[in-house]
A and B are shown apart, each in its own frame.
Chain A
Amino acid sequence: MTSLDASTRAAARGMSDIKIRNLFIIPTILFLIIFNIFPLIYSLGYSFTDFRASSNAPANFVGLQNYRELLSDPFIWNNFAITAKYVIVSVTGQVIVGFGTAMLLNRDIPFKGLLTTLLLLPMMLSMAVVGLFWKLLYDPSFGIINYALGLGTFEWLSNPDMALYAVALTDIWMWSPFVMLLSLAGLSAVPKHLYEAAAIDRAGPFYTFFRITLPLVAPILMIAIIFRTMEAFKTFDLAYILTSQPTTEVISIRLYKMAFQEWQTGRSCALAYIVLIMVLAITNIYVKYLNKVKER
């Protein structure tokens, strides 16, 4: 009652609540529509043309030709395959390292807060700059990695078979802390009495892990996995800076080259739409999962 009273009285003095609400919300929505939705509609139009931003020639309508050509281009599918491989390798690595570290940190560790903070640092850095200094670390003749591992002059980045794994390794270094952080939040939420009950029942460590820890951490771990999958799918900077191998040409790099090096603007808009639909599909799976988590 007071709240209604108070707000009506306040409304009489100043702006009405509805006016304030609109004033607070509408600019943001408009801003996002102008700078996110409008450009996408704009490029949808271009995706049906042979427009090239480098020339002054007018855009010709070509219908679905761009889409047809792209979807039947084995090189594009190869870019998607590389992206998929990259996502699988780096996300798997991050889950293993991140979750493993979280399990270790979840014990009685001195300076836990300090160590967690220190481990945060890699993911706060710029991927482009991280890529640059890992180039120095990976250098075959004077890189610290080869020296530390005793690998001699092993080629990381100029070896086409190795380059993608090298990029993924850097990504694992950068983002395992993120998985660790979320896992830690999940682990600390597991009720202690479950472990006590398991100890009374003389359950082994494997049983305790697979029957208690993992199922209870699974939802939040899943969120971390989905987050990282979407981010890895978008990867551009790290792979672009580290190497220029054809075997590391993830879809974002292909898109960038098509749009800003080959200047096939219309075609690249079409490819952007194909990528967009894939992202929406992944997002949809994510939202479905999120609702499932909420139901629990």
Chain B
Amino acid sequence: MAQVTTRSERALNRVAIASVLVITLIFLAPIYWITSTAFKPRNLSTTIPPTVMFTPEISPFVKLFTKRSQLRTQPTAEEYEAAPWWERLVFDGGEKVTRSGKGEIQLSGYPSRFMNSLIVAITSTVLAVGMGTFTAYGFSRFRVKGEADLLFFILSTRMLPPVVVAIPMFLMYRVVGLNDTHWGLIILYTAFNLSFSVWLMKGFIDEIPKEYEEAALVDGYTRMQAFFKIVIPEAATGIAATAVFCFITAWNEYAFALIMTNRRAQTAPPFIPSQVGSGLQDWTVIASGTFLFLLPVAIFTFLLRNHLLRGMSFGAIRK
């Protein structure tokens, strides 16, 4: 904004650049710290002064994926030699690994929770973005009676605190048997994301000129064909951005998951904290679980940064 002209202006600019860099470093420090802890050997995770230089290990991840209950027997040298490489990795990394049956390694609870998170987040995203795109098109292209009120109603479903909705949903789910199921969470997250999806997609579809479809209609397309062959491809980037937003929300949700699931359908957000017991805990394992969980979101954020920036300010201003 400001033209740099005078010497004092230039000095001021230098101060601004330095401050922004410092602020960014402070903001990223916690994420860096959790990432580095995920690769630390256990004895270096809680040292004072903190350990900055260390040889990265994958042992926290091995421990994360394997059951860390008491070891029945230490492997003998022969057993160790005979074991396949992945088992040896477990012996090297996780010092306490249960070998149930004939040298089988038990998985910890983490992989299944991670899978649950993926199943629930992906399915609900597809549903929310799919339905949202249809509805947004309906609102964008046709005259709807009480359009403003309907759109406000759609938005209002997102304003309630999750705990408020969770109590009646819990009671309803108990009646219909949806508690602790994937579909139970998928339905909830779809309902939660749908409002956002409709609003954001309406913004994107409004920007596609109506003339495109009209030309297609003149060419002999039906409305449906025009929608699928003209509008959807034009709105592709908008759909992608909306999908990432919905995915991130569903992926990160905690309160509903805590209340509605126990074991079978539990996702990672309530699972990871529940592993932090009292007393001595292995922070490297918690850090590795956290790191893996943050990874998809970090990758999405980076890949779609420009769309996210637009969607963020867009959605917020529109609302």
Binding site for B on A (CB under 8 A): 2-3, 5-7, 9-11, 13-15, 17-18, 20-21, 23-25, 27-29, 31-32, 35-36, 38-40, 42-43, 46, 53, 97, 101, 104-110, 113, 115-122, 124-129, 131-137, 139, 141-142, 144, 147, 173, 176-178, 181-182, 185, 187, 190, 192, 195, 220, 223-224, 227, 230, 233-234, 236-237, 241, 252, 255-256, 259-260, 265, 268-269, 272, 275-276, 279, 283, 287
Contact = CB atoms under 8 A, between A and B. Distances in A.
A176 B23 CA distance: 11
Interface in B288-319: 290, 293-294, 297-298, 300-302, 305, 308-309, 312-313, 316-317, 319
A106 B194 contact: no
Contact of A43 (B168, B224, B227, B319): B168
B4 interface: yes
B27 A36 contact: no
A105 B163 contact: no
Contact of A29 (B17, B28, B150): B150
A185 B313 contact: yes
A10 B168 contact: no
Nearest to A241: B273
B232 to A, nearest CB: 13
Contact of B161 (A124, A135, A233): A233
Given A3-B214, A27-B131, A185-B313, 18 more contacts: A10-B221, A14-B222, A17-B142, A20-B224, A25-B144, A28-B134, A53-B170, A97-B23, A104-B16, A118-B24, A119-B24, A124-B297, A128-B269, A173-B27, A195-B1, A236-B163, A276-B164, A279-B159
Nearest to A213: B1
A255 B259 CA distance: 12
Contacts of A122: 27, 30-31
Interface of B: 1-2, 4, 13, 16-17, 19-21, 23-24, 27-31, 33-34, 37, 46-50, 131-132, 134-135, 137-139, 142, 144, 150, 152-154, 156-157, 159-172, 174, 187-188, 190-191, 194-195, 198, 210, 214, 217-218, 220-227, 248, 251-255, 259, 268-270, 272-273, 276, 283, 286-287, 290, 293-294, 297-298, 300-302, 305, 308-309, 312-313, 316-317, 319
B162 A14 contact: no
A18 B145 CA distance: 12
A230 B161 CA distance: 9
Nearest to B293: A129
Contacts of B313: 181-182, 185
Given A14-B223, A21-B144, A32-B154, A279 B30 contact: no
B165 A283 contact: no
A105 B20 contact: yes
Contact of A133 (B34, B137, B220): B34
5 contacts: A6-B217, A120-B301, A227-B319, A275-B164, A279-B161
B218 A272 contact: no
B217 A32 contact: no
A147 B144 contact: no
Contacts of A139: 46
A129 B273 CA distance: 7
